[in-house]
Amino acid sequence: MRRKKEPTEIKKEIIDAARQLFLEEGYQHVSMRKIATKIGYTPTTIYIYFKNKEEILLHLLEEGYGLFYHELKIAYDHAFDQSHEIRLFNMCEAYIYFGLKQPDYYNIAFMNNLEKNTSKIENSDRYNAFLLLNTVVKEFIQENAFSEMAQSDMDISHTIWASLHGLTSLLITFPQFDWGEQNRLIQFHIRTIIQGLKN
């Protein structure tokens, strides 16, 4: 059954199918056949567009990081006239809501370290996102003049990242658990971290 489609369109179909399956069943349990079946092509066809299974994953990762960074950047830019604390708060919100809106991307991007062998971490948008967070943190530090506490901005960034990741991934992984009112929890979570940093 031959159809006529833009190459980019098929590539997109593959990526879309792969993303969904990767989320639902985990990278290891997704086979090329499954992806192929899902888009109505033969497994062979996929190999025209991607060298192998790993390349699909890599593509997905970069895409996911890109979207993620983009969201954070918007939150950062949008509150340009606010205090740095508010900007930080907004970014934290953006982080968590990105994960909730795009659990598939988030899952692939942060809950498995699938780049183990590729190690071009430094120039990916994942790193850029972290750098952006770090920037806000530094500004936030200056704003608050954390005089006595000489805690490095890195530790602070790590702590924030970890806390955000923690709530996001739990909410994704255990959706049926009783989290109370989700939005309230999120607000409280972020508030707690930021308050904690100010002391």
Partner DNA sequence: TATGAATGAGGGTTCATTCAT
Partner DNA sequence: AATGAATGAACCCTCATTCAT
In the complex, the residues that contact DNA under the rule CB under 7 A are 1-7, 10, 29-34, 40-45, 47-48, 52-54
Which residue reads 């806000």 in tokens?
A: 136
* DSSP three-state, residue 76: helix
Alpha carbons 106 and 112: distance in angstroms, whole number: 10
Judge contact between 2 and 37, C-beta under 8 A: no
Which residues of this protein are in contact with a copy of itself, per CB under 8 A?
A: 26, 28, 110-113, 119, 121, 151-152, 154-155, 158-159, 161-167, 169-170, 173-174, 176-177, 179-180, 184-185, 188-189, 191-199
**First vs last C-alpha separation in the chain:** 66
Instruction: For DNA, give the closer residue by CB, 30 or 129.
Output: 30
167 binds, among DNA, a copy of itself, none (CB under 5 to 8 A by kind): a copy of itself
Least distance CB 173 / DNA (angstroms): 22
Alpha carbons 68 and 98: distance in angstroms, whole number: 7
Q: How many helices (H) and strands (E) does the chain have?
A: 9, 0
Least distance CB 77 / a copy of itself (angstroms): 25
Instruction: For DNA, give the closer residue by CB, 58 or 133.
Output: 58
179 binds, among DNA, a copy of itself, none (CB under 5 to 8 A by kind): a copy of itself
